[in-house]
Protein backbone atom coordinates (compact mmCIF):
# COMPACT_ATOMS: atom_id res chain seq x y z
CA UNK A 1 0.00 0.00 0.00
CA UNK A 2 1.35 3.38 -0.98
CA UNK A 3 1.98 5.54 2.05
CA UNK A 4 0.68 9.08 2.09
CA UNK A 5 3.56 11.49 2.67
CA UNK A 6 3.43 13.42 5.89
CA UNK A 7 2.16 16.98 5.56
CA UNK A 8 4.79 19.61 6.36
CA UNK A 9 4.70 20.73 9.96
CA UNK A 10 3.39 24.28 10.40
CA UNK A 11 5.93 26.81 11.59
CA UNK A 12 5.66 27.88 15.22
CA UNK A 13 3.91 31.22 15.65
CA UNK A 14 4.90 33.83 18.23
CA UNK A 15 3.18 37.19 18.46
CA UNK A 16 3.22 39.86 21.15
CA UNK A 17 0.02 41.81 20.40
CA UNK A 18 0.89 44.86 22.49
CA UNK A 19 4.30 45.67 21.02
CA UNK A 20 2.99 47.48 17.94
CA UNK A 21 1.31 50.05 20.16
CA UNK A 22 4.56 50.58 22.06
CA UNK A 23 6.38 51.04 18.77
CA UNK A 24 3.97 53.75 17.70
CA UNK A 25 4.27 55.70 20.96
CA UNK A 26 8.06 55.46 20.75
CA UNK A 27 7.91 56.90 17.26
CA UNK A 28 5.48 59.61 18.33
CA UNK A 29 7.74 61.08 21.02
CA UNK A 30 10.62 61.16 18.51
CA UNK A 31 8.29 62.85 16.02
CA UNK A 32 7.21 65.46 18.57
CA UNK A 33 10.84 66.12 19.51
CA UNK A 34 11.68 66.87 15.89
CA UNK A 35 8.59 69.09 15.54
CA UNK A 36 9.83 71.01 18.59
CA UNK A 37 13.26 71.45 17.04
CA UNK A 38 12.05 72.29 13.52
CA UNK A 39 9.16 74.74 14.04
CA UNK A 40 7.53 74.73 17.50
CA UNK A 41 10.56 76.71 18.69
CA UNK A 42 9.23 79.71 16.75
CA UNK A 43 6.53 80.11 19.43
CA UNK A 44 9.12 80.71 22.15
CA UNK A 45 8.50 84.49 22.34
CA UNK A 46 4.90 84.72 21.20
CA UNK A 47 3.49 81.88 23.32
CA UNK A 48 6.00 81.04 26.08
CA UNK A 49 3.53 78.88 27.99
CA UNK A 50 2.83 76.70 24.98
CA UNK A 51 6.50 76.49 24.06
CA UNK A 52 7.63 75.70 27.61
CA UNK A 53 5.09 72.88 27.85
CA UNK A 54 6.28 71.38 24.56
CA UNK A 55 9.91 71.79 25.57
CA UNK A 56 9.29 70.13 28.95
CA UNK A 57 7.51 67.17 27.38
CA UNK A 58 9.57 66.54 24.26
CA UNK A 59 13.08 67.94 24.69
CA UNK A 60 14.24 64.39 25.39
CA UNK A 61 11.91 62.77 22.87
CA UNK A 62 14.87 61.02 21.31
CA UNK A 63 14.54 58.58 24.21
CA UNK A 64 12.01 56.94 21.95
CA UNK A 65 15.03 55.59 20.06
CA UNK A 66 16.38 54.16 23.33
CA UNK A 67 13.05 52.40 23.74
CA UNK A 68 13.33 50.99 20.20
CA UNK A 69 16.77 49.60 21.04
CA UNK A 70 15.57 47.83 24.20
CA UNK A 71 12.55 46.50 22.32
CA UNK A 72 14.70 45.23 19.45
CA UNK A 73 17.04 43.48 21.85
CA UNK A 74 14.10 41.83 23.59
CA UNK A 75 12.19 40.68 20.52
CA UNK A 76 15.12 39.54 18.37
CA UNK A 77 16.70 37.64 21.25
CA UNK A 78 13.43 36.01 22.30
CA UNK A 79 12.82 34.73 18.76
CA UNK A 80 16.39 33.48 18.40
CA UNK A 81 16.20 31.68 21.76
CA UNK A 82 12.96 29.98 20.71
CA UNK A 83 14.47 28.99 17.36
CA UNK A 84 17.43 27.41 19.13
CA UNK A 85 15.15 25.75 21.65
CA UNK A 86 13.01 24.17 18.91
CA UNK A 87 15.73 23.31 16.38
CA UNK A 88 18.90 23.10 18.53
CA UNK A 89 20.54 25.70 16.27
CA UNK A 90 20.15 29.16 14.75
CA UNK A 91 20.15 29.59 10.99
CA UNK A 92 22.32 32.70 10.85
CA UNK A 93 22.08 33.07 7.07
CA UNK A 94 18.30 32.97 7.17
CA UNK A 95 18.32 35.57 9.93
CA UNK A 96 20.42 37.89 7.80
CA UNK A 97 18.10 37.45 4.83
CA UNK A 98 15.05 38.29 6.98
CA UNK A 99 16.68 41.46 8.28
CA UNK A 100 17.81 42.46 4.76
CA UNK A 101 14.29 42.04 3.40
CA UNK A 102 12.84 44.10 6.26
CA UNK A 103 15.41 46.90 6.62
CA UNK A 104 17.37 47.40 3.42
CA UNK A 105 14.72 48.37 0.83
CA UNK A 106 13.47 51.49 2.64
CA UNK A 107 16.89 52.31 4.08
CA UNK A 108 18.57 52.36 0.67
CA UNK A 109 15.64 54.22 -0.85
CA UNK A 110 16.23 56.95 1.76
CA UNK A 111 19.93 57.01 0.84
CA UNK A 112 19.09 57.29 -2.85
CA UNK A 113 16.68 60.15 -2.22
CA UNK A 114 18.98 61.84 0.29
CA UNK A 115 22.29 61.70 -1.55
CA UNK A 116 21.12 61.85 -5.19
CA UNK A 117 17.63 63.31 -5.48
CA UNK A 118 17.59 65.87 -2.66
CA UNK A 119 20.62 67.86 -3.94
CA UNK A 120 19.10 68.06 -7.44
CA UNK A 121 15.70 69.20 -6.14
CA UNK A 122 17.33 71.73 -3.82
CA UNK A 123 19.34 73.16 -6.70
CA UNK A 124 16.21 73.43 -8.84
CA UNK A 125 14.52 75.32 -6.01
CA UNK A 126 17.38 77.79 -5.84
CA UNK A 127 18.92 76.49 -2.62
CA UNK A 128 21.89 74.33 -3.66
CA UNK A 129 23.44 72.21 -0.92
CA UNK A 130 26.91 70.84 -0.30
CA UNK A 131 26.41 67.56 1.54
CA UNK A 132 28.71 67.08 4.53
CA UNK A 133 27.61 63.51 5.26
CA UNK A 134 29.81 60.77 3.84
CA UNK A 135 27.70 58.44 1.63
CA UNK A 136 30.15 55.55 2.05
CA UNK A 137 29.60 55.51 5.80
CA UNK A 138 25.87 55.26 5.25
CA UNK A 139 26.18 52.62 2.54
CA UNK A 140 28.23 50.47 4.94
CA UNK A 141 25.83 51.08 7.87
CA UNK A 142 28.26 53.30 9.71
CA UNK A 143 26.02 56.34 9.66
CA UNK A 144 26.20 56.72 13.43
CA UNK A 145 29.98 57.16 13.24
CA UNK A 146 29.54 59.74 10.48
CA UNK A 147 27.01 61.53 12.68
CA UNK A 148 29.56 61.62 15.50
CA UNK A 149 32.11 63.06 13.04
CA UNK A 150 29.95 66.05 12.05
CA UNK A 151 28.06 66.56 15.33
CA UNK A 152 26.46 68.93 16.29
CA UNK A 153 25.96 69.67 12.58
CA UNK A 154 23.51 67.45 10.70
CA UNK A 155 23.45 66.16 7.11
CA UNK A 156 22.29 68.72 4.54
CA UNK A 157 19.68 66.19 3.39
CA UNK A 158 18.39 66.00 6.96
CA UNK A 159 14.78 65.18 5.94
CA UNK A 160 16.02 61.82 4.66
CA UNK A 161 19.28 61.10 6.49
CA UNK A 162 18.91 62.52 10.01
CA UNK A 163 17.45 59.43 11.70
CA UNK A 164 19.36 56.74 9.82
CA UNK A 165 22.18 56.62 12.39
CA UNK A 166 19.95 54.46 14.59
CA UNK A 167 19.15 52.08 11.74
CA UNK A 168 22.92 51.66 11.26
CA UNK A 169 23.32 50.67 14.91
CA UNK A 170 20.47 48.19 14.62
CA UNK A 171 22.15 46.60 11.60
CA UNK A 172 25.48 46.35 13.44
CA UNK A 173 23.62 44.59 16.27
CA UNK A 174 21.91 42.21 13.84
CA UNK A 175 25.27 41.36 12.27
CA UNK A 176 26.87 39.97 15.43
CA UNK A 177 23.98 38.91 17.67
CA UNK A 178 22.79 35.73 15.92
CA UNK A 179 26.39 34.53 15.60
CA UNK A 180 26.92 34.90 19.36
CA UNK A 181 23.67 33.11 20.17
CA UNK A 182 24.40 30.41 17.60
CA UNK A 183 27.73 29.36 19.11
CA UNK A 184 27.22 30.07 22.83
CA UNK A 185 25.29 27.53 24.86
CA UNK A 186 21.99 28.86 26.14
CA UNK A 187 22.98 28.31 29.76
CA UNK A 188 25.64 31.00 29.32
CA UNK A 189 23.45 33.56 27.58
CA UNK A 190 22.76 35.62 30.69
CA UNK A 191 26.48 35.97 31.40
CA UNK A 192 27.10 37.17 27.83
CA UNK A 193 24.29 39.73 28.07
CA UNK A 194 25.43 40.99 31.48
CA UNK A 195 28.99 41.17 30.16
CA UNK A 196 27.90 43.32 27.21
CA UNK A 197 25.96 45.65 29.54
CA UNK A 198 28.97 46.05 31.85
CA UNK A 199 31.33 46.57 28.89
CA UNK A 200 29.06 49.32 27.60
CA UNK A 201 29.13 51.02 31.01
CA UNK A 202 32.93 50.85 31.07
CA UNK A 203 33.08 52.41 27.60
CA UNK A 204 30.71 55.20 28.62
CA UNK A 205 32.86 55.90 31.69
CA UNK A 206 35.56 57.29 29.40
CA UNK A 207 33.16 59.87 27.92
CA UNK A 208 31.43 61.62 30.81
CA UNK A 209 32.35 65.19 29.90
CA UNK A 210 30.04 68.06 29.02
CA UNK A 211 31.59 68.63 25.58
CA UNK A 212 29.79 68.09 22.27
CA UNK A 213 32.29 65.34 21.43
CA UNK A 214 31.61 63.35 24.60
CA UNK A 215 27.86 63.87 24.29
CA UNK A 216 27.91 62.60 20.70
CA UNK A 217 29.78 59.44 21.69
CA UNK A 218 27.43 58.77 24.63
CA UNK A 219 24.39 59.13 22.39
CA UNK A 220 25.48 57.68 19.04
CA UNK A 221 28.45 55.33 19.43
CA UNK A 222 27.61 51.65 19.00
CA UNK A 223 29.54 50.57 22.11
CA UNK A 224 27.75 53.22 24.16
CA UNK A 225 24.23 52.14 23.23
CA UNK A 226 24.68 48.38 22.77
CA UNK A 227 23.80 48.02 26.44
CA UNK A 228 20.19 48.87 25.54
CA UNK A 229 19.96 45.85 23.23
CA UNK A 230 21.76 43.61 25.70
CA UNK A 231 19.35 44.69 28.45
CA UNK A 232 16.40 43.79 26.23
CA UNK A 233 18.12 40.49 25.48
CA UNK A 234 18.60 39.74 29.19
CA UNK A 235 14.91 40.37 29.83
CA UNK A 236 14.02 38.11 26.89
CA UNK A 237 16.18 35.36 28.36
CA UNK A 238 14.39 35.50 31.70
CA UNK A 239 11.00 35.49 29.97
CA UNK A 240 11.71 32.56 27.66
CA UNK A 241 11.19 29.88 30.30
CA UNK A 242 9.17 29.55 33.54
CA UNK A 243 10.99 31.08 36.52
CA UNK A 244 10.45 33.30 39.55
CA UNK A 245 11.18 36.49 37.62
CA UNK A 246 8.53 35.77 35.00
CA UNK A 247 6.06 34.85 37.74
CA UNK A 248 6.84 38.15 39.49
CA UNK A 249 6.18 40.13 36.27
CA UNK A 250 3.00 38.18 35.57
CA UNK A 251 1.62 38.92 39.05
CA UNK A 252 2.43 42.64 39.08
CA UNK A 253 -0.41 44.60 40.62
CA UNK A 254 -1.67 47.98 39.50
CA UNK A 255 0.39 49.94 42.10
CA UNK A 256 3.60 48.33 40.80
CA UNK A 257 2.58 48.97 37.20
CA UNK A 258 1.85 52.61 38.02
CA UNK A 259 5.27 52.89 39.66
CA UNK A 260 6.97 51.54 36.52
CA UNK A 261 5.33 54.13 34.28
CA UNK A 262 5.90 56.92 36.81
CA UNK A 263 9.58 56.01 36.98
CA UNK A 264 9.92 55.90 33.18
CA UNK A 265 8.23 59.28 32.79
CA UNK A 266 10.05 60.90 35.69
CA UNK A 267 13.54 59.78 34.66
CA UNK A 268 12.82 60.75 31.05
CA UNK A 269 11.49 64.24 31.77
CA UNK A 270 14.26 65.11 34.24
CA UNK A 271 17.06 63.27 32.47
CA UNK A 272 19.45 66.20 32.36
CA UNK A 273 19.03 66.92 36.07
CA UNK A 274 19.37 63.32 37.25
CA UNK A 275 22.06 62.27 34.78
CA UNK A 276 24.22 65.36 34.51
CA UNK A 277 27.65 64.99 32.84
CA UNK A 278 29.91 63.02 35.14
CA UNK A 279 29.54 59.62 36.78
CA UNK A 280 25.73 59.76 36.63
CA UNK A 281 25.80 59.93 32.81
CA UNK A 282 27.45 56.51 32.71
CA UNK A 283 24.29 54.88 34.05
CA UNK A 284 21.72 57.03 32.24
CA UNK A 285 20.83 54.57 29.47
CA UNK A 286 20.86 51.55 31.78
CA UNK A 287 18.51 53.02 34.39
CA UNK A 288 16.06 54.49 31.89
CA UNK A 289 16.35 51.31 29.81
CA UNK A 290 15.36 49.21 32.84
CA UNK A 291 12.10 51.13 33.12
CA UNK A 292 11.52 50.82 29.37
CA UNK A 293 12.18 47.09 29.60
CA UNK A 294 9.72 46.73 32.46
CA UNK A 295 7.07 48.49 30.37
CA UNK A 296 7.67 45.95 27.59
CA UNK A 297 7.33 43.07 30.04
CA UNK A 298 4.31 44.60 31.74
CA UNK A 299 2.54 44.91 28.40
CA UNK A 300 3.46 41.35 27.40
CA UNK A 301 2.90 39.43 30.63
CA UNK A 302 1.42 41.37 33.56
CA UNK A 303 -2.14 40.58 34.59
CA UNK A 304 -2.56 43.89 36.43
CA UNK A 305 -2.10 46.22 33.44
CA UNK A 306 -4.27 49.32 33.24
CA UNK A 307 -4.50 48.98 29.46
CA UNK A 308 -3.09 46.48 27.01
CA UNK A 309 -2.18 48.46 23.91
CA UNK A 310 -3.25 45.60 21.67
CA UNK A 311 -6.82 46.60 22.50
CA UNK A 312 -6.17 50.09 21.11
CA UNK A 313 -6.69 49.01 17.52
CA UNK A 314 -5.86 52.25 15.70
CA UNK A 315 -2.58 52.74 17.54
CA UNK A 316 -1.64 49.08 17.06
CA UNK A 317 -2.36 49.26 13.34
CA UNK A 318 -0.21 52.35 12.99
CA UNK A 319 2.51 50.52 14.92
CA UNK A 320 2.83 48.07 12.03
CA UNK A 321 4.12 50.96 9.91
CA UNK A 322 6.53 52.33 12.51
CA UNK A 323 9.67 51.68 10.48
CA UNK A 324 8.34 53.78 7.62
CA UNK A 325 7.00 56.41 10.01
CA UNK A 326 10.39 56.67 11.66
CA UNK A 327 12.45 56.83 8.45
CA UNK A 328 10.12 59.24 6.64
CA UNK A 329 8.74 61.53 9.34
CA UNK A 330 11.47 64.15 8.93
CA UNK A 331 10.56 64.39 5.25
CA UNK A 332 6.93 64.82 6.30
CA UNK A 333 7.89 67.62 8.72
CA UNK A 334 9.93 69.30 5.97
CA UNK A 335 6.98 69.18 3.54
CA UNK A 336 4.56 70.44 6.22
CA UNK A 337 6.81 73.43 6.93
CA UNK A 338 7.03 74.21 3.20
CA UNK A 339 3.24 74.17 3.01
CA UNK A 340 2.92 76.57 5.97
CA UNK A 341 5.52 78.92 4.49
CA UNK A 342 3.78 78.79 1.09
CA UNK A 343 0.46 79.66 2.73
CA UNK A 344 2.19 82.54 4.55
CA UNK A 345 0.85 81.42 7.91
CA UNK A 346 2.39 82.89 11.05
CA UNK A 347 4.72 80.21 12.45
CA UNK A 348 4.90 82.05 15.77
CA UNK A 349 1.20 81.34 16.35
CA UNK A 350 0.80 78.27 18.61
CA UNK A 351 -2.36 77.21 16.75
CA UNK A 352 -0.38 77.21 13.50
CA UNK A 353 2.22 75.04 15.26
CA UNK A 354 -0.53 72.58 16.26
CA UNK A 355 -1.90 72.58 12.71
CA UNK A 356 1.60 72.00 11.34
CA UNK A 357 2.05 69.03 13.68
CA UNK A 358 -1.22 67.59 12.38
CA UNK A 359 -0.22 68.12 8.75
CA UNK A 360 3.20 66.57 9.32
CA UNK A 361 1.76 63.53 11.11
CA UNK A 362 -0.83 63.01 8.38
CA UNK A 363 1.85 63.22 5.67
CA UNK A 364 4.08 60.81 7.63
CA UNK A 365 1.25 58.29 7.89
CA UNK A 366 0.43 58.57 4.18
CA UNK A 367 4.10 58.20 3.21
CA UNK A 368 4.60 55.19 5.48
CA UNK A 369 1.42 53.49 4.22
CA UNK A 370 2.46 54.06 0.62
CA UNK A 371 6.00 52.85 1.32
CA UNK A 372 4.77 49.72 3.08
CA UNK A 373 2.05 48.66 0.65
CA UNK A 374 3.62 49.71 -2.68
CA UNK A 375 7.29 49.09 -1.96
CA UNK A 376 8.31 47.31 1.23
CA UNK A 377 5.60 44.63 1.00
CA UNK A 378 7.16 43.20 -2.16
CA UNK A 379 10.16 42.22 -0.07
CA UNK A 380 8.27 41.33 3.10
CA UNK A 381 6.32 38.65 1.22
CA UNK A 382 9.56 36.72 0.89
CA UNK A 383 10.54 37.12 4.53
CA UNK A 384 8.57 34.19 6.01
CA UNK A 385 10.23 31.77 3.60
CA UNK A 386 13.40 32.20 5.63
CA UNK A 387 11.73 32.18 9.07
CA UNK A 388 11.41 29.21 11.37
CA UNK A 389 9.04 31.16 13.64
CA UNK A 390 6.35 33.33 12.07
CA UNK A 391 4.11 36.07 13.45
- Residue ranges of domains in the chain: 19-124+131-381
DSSP class per residue in 357-376: HHHHHHHHHHHHHHHIIIII
Check residue 384 and give its pLDDT.
78
H/E stretch holding 332: helix 322-342
Sign of CA dihedral 177, 178, 183, 184: positive
For residues 328 and 367, the answer to whether their CB atoms sit within 8 Å is yes
DSSP class per residue in 42-101: GGTTT-HHHHHHHHHHHTTTTHHHHHHHHHHHHHHHHHHHHHHHHHSS--HHHHHHHHHH
At 305 the three-state DSSP class reads coil
H helix count then E strand count, the chain: 21, 0
Q: Go through the chain and tell me how many residues it has.
A: 391
Check residue 3 and give its pLDDT.
47
First to last CA, the chain: 39
Q: How far is CA 7 from CA 3, 383, 384, 387, 388, in A?
A: 12, 22, 18, 18, 16
Q: Among residues 351, 265, 283, which one has the least CA distance to residue 40?
A: 351
Q: How far apart are CA 11 and CA 253, in angstroms?
A: 35
User: What average pLDDT values come out for the chain (391 residues) when binned by 10 residues?
Assistant: 49 83 97 97 97 97 97 97 94 96 98 96 89 97 97 96 98 97 96 98 97 97 98 97 96 96 97 95 98 98 94 94 98 97 96 98 98 96 79 62
Check residue 4 and give its pLDDT.
47
Q: How far apart are CA 258 and CA 86, in angstroms?
A: 36
Check residue 11 and give its pLDDT.
64
Chain center to CA of 87: 29
Give the side-chain half-sphere CA count within 13 A for 20: 16
Check residue 391 and give its pLDDT.
62
H/E stretch holding 325: helix 322-342
State pTM to two decimals: 0.95
Q: How far is CA 286 from CA 132, 229, 377, in A?
A: 32, 10, 35
Give CA angle at 27 (21, 32), nearest 5°: 125
Q: How far apart are CA 45 and CA 158, in angstroms?
A: 26
Amino acid sequence: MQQTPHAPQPKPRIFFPNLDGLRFFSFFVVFMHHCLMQFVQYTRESAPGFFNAQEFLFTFGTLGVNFFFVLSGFLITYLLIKEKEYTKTIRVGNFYIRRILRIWPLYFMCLFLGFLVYPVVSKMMGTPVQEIANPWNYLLFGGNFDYIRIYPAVPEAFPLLLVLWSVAIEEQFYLVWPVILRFVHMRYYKYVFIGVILSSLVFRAFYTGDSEAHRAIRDFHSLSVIGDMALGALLAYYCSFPNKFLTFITNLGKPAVALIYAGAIGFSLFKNVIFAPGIASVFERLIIGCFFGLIILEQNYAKGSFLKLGKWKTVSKLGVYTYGLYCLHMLAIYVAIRIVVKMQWNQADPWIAVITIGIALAIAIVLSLASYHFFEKWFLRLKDRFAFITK
